[in-house]
Amino acid sequence: MSKPRVRVLLIGCLSLGLLGCGRQADASPRPKEADAPPDAAASDPDKLAWMRGAPPPADRVLRFEDGSYFRFPAMRWSVSNFRQLMPTVNVSRGLGAPRPLPRALREDIDAVRFTPIGSETSMTWGESLAVNYTDGIVVLHRGRIVYERYFGVLREDGQHGCMSVTKSFVGTLGAVLVAEGTLDPDKRVREYVPELAGSAFGDATIRQVLDMTTGLAFSEDYSDPNAEIWAHARAGNPLPKPKGFTGPRTYFEFLQTVKKQGEHGAAFAYKTANTDALAWVLARVTGQSVAELVSRRIWRRLGAEQDAYFSVDSIGTPFAGGGLNTGLRDLARFGELMRNGGKVGEEQILPAAAVDDIRRGASREAFAKAGYTTLAGWSYRSMWWISHNEHDAFAARGVHGQTIYVDPKAEMVIARFASHPSAKNAYIDPTSLPAYHALAKHLLAKPR
């Protein structure tokens, strides 16, 4: 495969949120100063005026087909405008009025100080937002909005790619069906989806898929043109395939080709294909796609302000591994739902047992084998990242800085959209994680 072809495929893959948080990504060296991309101010998509005009100037036009839309800094515009560039399916919020989020904005949050991981110099919360190329951030404390900021082209009524935060929605749906008795976590995947019997997923249990402890021959090393992630990206790409193409053309077809490597249950290994396999199981047992399930089981009952949407493959299959796009406040509402044990107000919309199981986490020993230097002591349960810190914080995480961070002890939820030039959370965690914890301690010490 030629280098130009690899570049285009990589960009297309990034757009759908496929880049994960695995060992390969975490261990990569940081870029040299000479290679540093433009900072948040210089790459501001609003100032760069991408896709503005009727028609836009030629040098401001971004296209899905040639990958131009996801080259930095252009991707800072694209993450808030995926629906203009690729096919999608709607996630309806229904016709009812949104549930209000009370506002109690605070002026003291920007000044909260913390020391980044590996640094001897502190910075403020406000300074960290630009460092992490934040597009929008909302902080809830005790269910009230205490902080809300938007940057670039993202607005209050806009939507943004959630990337791999999507996985936590799908994992939550899986946990719900387990708690309700619809899914048996100890059953093999092939018992629900016989088409996967000959794949690596066939003899994996539902629990192993939920916790990503499957043994898959599935590399997410984007520097290797022969890595399985490329076949996944090609299968999910909705554009017409080139003449003579004989590979998988849909996510369903691709999943049947995944081979086994190692033993299931031995170690945590972050692989996006697990989420797409789980989505197939969910669709088979419920008769609904993950887009329909998110709408019916979460979005319509959450009191969301906006519809959400999923990117889809060539036959309209939602990309479960990273294709969800939402409004920022609605993302925070989902975090608040999880903080409150599956309740919205007095209404229990998710089984408390499902949320409790997620928040307890899984094997830290299995997780440690993945080699995350910024997540020591964490675990992974039903596609959520569990910190096991003194606040029992847990998170949904996506490439380029997408986050839902829930701190039960501080009664705090943070929802963030971002467009960091690096997809890898290893570049973002050193400033984000200590900032979140410092804010949690600040809210505990100075409640209002």
Residue 287: which residues within 8 A CB-CB, separation 6 or more? Answer: none
Render pLDDT for 332-363 as a digit per residue (tens, 0 to 9). 999 999 999 999 999 999 999 999 999 999 99
Cα(261)–Cα(352) distance, rounded to whole angstroms? Answer: 35
Confidence of residue 23 (pLDDT cuts 50, 70, 90): very low
Confidence of residue 159 (pLDDT cuts 50, 70, 90): very high
Residue with the bigger pLDDT between 193 and 17: it is: 193
Q: Is the pLDDT of residue 36 over 90?
A: no
Q: Indicate the helix (H) or strand (E) that contains 325.
A: strand 324-326
Three-class SS state of 150: strand
Mean pLDDT of all residues in the chain? 92
DSSP designation for 249: -
Confidence of residue 149 (pLDDT cuts 50, 70, 90): very high
Cα(292)–Cα(301) distance, rounded to whole angstroms? Answer: 13
Percent of the chain with pLDDT over 90: 89
